[in-house]
Every structure is written in C-alpha cells, then in structure tokens.
Amino acid sequence: MRSIVVILAVVMGAMLSVAACAQTRSVAESPAAVEVGAADTAAYMPLLRGRRVAVLANHTAMFSEQEHLVDMLCRCGTAPVGIFSPEHGFRGKAEAGAAVGNSVDERTGVPILSLYDGRTQRPSDDAMRSFDVLVVDMQDVGLRFYTYYISMIRMMDACAEFGHEVIVLDRPNPNGHYVDGPVLDMRFKSGVGWLPIPVVHGMTMGELARMAVGEGWCKHVDLRVVGCRNYDHRTHYVLPVAPSPNLPTQHSIYLYPSMCLFEGTVVSLGRGTDFPFEVYGHPDMKGRGFSFTPRPNAGSATPPLSGRVCHGVDLRELPDEQIWREGLTLRYVIDAYRDLDIGERFFTPMFEKLIGVDWVRRMIVDGAETEEIEARWRGDVERFREQRRAYLLYEE
C-alpha cells in the first residue's frame, strides 16, 4: 500500500511539474504588457527629490489606470510648483485650437500655466525661474500637425536658456510603425508644423526630443528620456485614454494622418458628430449613400458646415489592417476634390501647413493620381528614416 502511495505521489508530482512547465511556457510566450516611462519611478523619482519640479502634461499623463502623474507626485511628497498645459488644456477638454487660460488644478491646488492661450510663446522669466527641472509626460499620436510635441520643443528651448534639466517620460506612438508623407518645407512652419519631419514621423516624444537636440532643431538642453518597457515600433499600442476630444477612438487615431488634411479644405471630416476623423462629406457631394449633419458638441463648439446635411463617405468599417498597410493616403482628399469640381476653391491656406509643401496641391489640381503624388515623397521618407536612426530608443 505504501509503495502505491509513493508511486501515486511521484506520478502526481510529475503531472504537477508538467503543468507548471506548461503554465510557465504559456506566460513566457504571452507578450508582456507595455509599461510607459511614468511607471519606471526608480529612473526618475530620485532625480526630483529636493528640487523644484514643474510638469508639462495633460490628461493623458496617467501614472496608473486610477492615478494621474501629478497626483502621484503630490502623494509622494514631490508636489510640482507648477503645471504647463498644451493644446486642449491640462484636463484635455478644450476643443482644437481654442485658447486656454491659466488656472489652478482643483484636485491638487497646483497652479496651471497655459501654453495655448493665444499669446504665450514661452513662460515668463519669473515662471521659468520658479523651477529647476521640467518633467514632460503627454500621449502623442505621431503626426507633425499634432501640437503636443511643439509645446515640448518650445519648453525645451526655454529650459535651455535657464539651465534647467528636461526629463521626458516616454509613451508609445500608436502610429509608430511607419513613416510617411513629405518633409515640412520650413516656409510653411506654423503652429501645426514645427520641425522638418514627415507628416507621419514614426517616433515617440522621447525620440523626437532627442532628435531635436541632436539635429540642432532646438537649443541644447540637458535632456533625459525615461523609456517605455516591452515596446518597439512594431507594437500596435492601444491608447488607454483618448488623447484629445476629437480623437475618441483608436480607429480615428489610425485614420487621422489622412483625414486631418480635410482641415485645409471646404469638406467636413466629422467635427460636430460622434465620429470625427472617421467620415468626410459636403452638402454638394453627389451620388453618396451616407450623410451626416455636424452640430455643436463638447469637442467642437462651431464645427465646419454646422447644421448642414453633408453627403459623403463613412470609413468606420474600414479595417485597421488596411489603414496600416496603406499608411498616409491622399485618395480621400482627391475623391472629394473631384466630386465637388470647384477647382482651387476646394482648398484653404491651411492645406499647405498640414501637408507641408506646395507641390501636392498643384499636382491634385493638375489631375495627378494618388500613387503618382505619393511616390514623389518616398525619397523624403527614406532620407528621414536614415536621419532619425541615431535617435531611436526602440527597435524598428
């Protein structure tokens, strides 16, 4: 009987051992969760102790699912002396382009100084003297015309003037798996295009900060980047928080590179609906089986073509895989341009600021096909991919 028990114990032990190995193998084969820079407190909290800390951040700077970075810093005894906020404000509720005033964060009592009030190019000298180190944490979406990186570069310039260190807590780029579009002709430098980079640059905020310093696009500043873990440029990262009011879904973020070009035309891209950047249309577009009516909402107080029925195209069912494969495309803009048939009146001066060059409009007007126009910027893309290589923190 005793021998039977021993045999059973050996067999059971072997079975448990096999199960444990299988479980270990399963865990090992599962991709590890991406950790953002803010989660790596050991890399930056010691650098903040005993120093006056300012933060450039917005609502996306979440330390955990429940806690914002600023709240965590306050809880840990490193309360910021001030918060600098980008477009859409610190809590991320202001509509695109809207001026945001200074205020005080109700939750923590920390003063908020807006960098998007319509006047401020950089904080005052008094504000700059009030801190020693700037912590940057914002979720970017990897586009030249998405303005968060511009606020970062401007603050890096200001910090360089005052000898302040800049620490960027990095976050993945949801459009970081490709590079596309023409490099900005600096004649069209504006508040929606600040650096000589393609429309889709494929870099994180930390990588872009490194490149700006290395290429002399900003003043030399003492820069440190706290990187993400378990992330590379092939990772399809799903954002846990909407980065701005009119990018409410992951699908809209993938379509944004192509759809934002409509901001430089007479066509609506769905501002004032529940699906911005996922549709496009105009009252005079013809032969379409889909329509929508823009109306004021939380994301857009005065949407283009407000109250008018727009006929157009619904892209909400377009598979993500197709968007990733296609990258930035002009086919939606060209489709609407040919449908309306109004020539140059289709465009506004914003179009050049968004696409970054003057020849794309000319080629569209001259009747060029999508593939021909996009082929012209392929050289820009390849040169930039090589230029940025030295600044990448994550594998391509």
> What pLDDT is attached to residue 4?
37
d(CA 303, CA 296): 6
> What pLDDT is attached to residue 31?
61
User: Which residues have a Cβ under 8 Å from the Cβ of 377 and sit 6 or more positions away?
Assistant: 180, 181, 182, 183, 198
> What is the domain partition of the chain in residue ranges?
37-239, 250-386
> What pLDDT is attached to residue 114?
74
* Helix (H) or strand (E) run with residue 249 in it: none
As a CATH number, domain 37-239 is 3.40.50.12170
> What pLDDT is attached to residue 13?
38
> What pLDDT is attached to residue 89?
64
Coil/strand/helix, residue 280:
strand
The tens-digit pLDDT sequence of the chain (396 residues) is 444 333 333 333 333 333 333 333 223 334 689 999 999 999 999 999 999 999 999 999 999 999 999 999 999 999 999 999 876 567 655 445 455 557 788 888 998 987 755 565 678 899 999 999 999 999 999 999 999 999 999 999 999 999 999 999 999 999 999 999 999 999 999 999 999 999 999 999 999 999 999 999 999 999 999 999 999 999 999 999 999 999 999 999 999 999 999 999 999 999 999 999 999 999 999 989 999 999 999 889 999 999 999 999 999 999 999 999 999 999 999 999 999 999 999 999 999 999 999 999 999 999 999 999 999 999 999 999 999 999 999 999
pTM, entire model: 0.88
> What pLDDT is attached to residue 91?
64
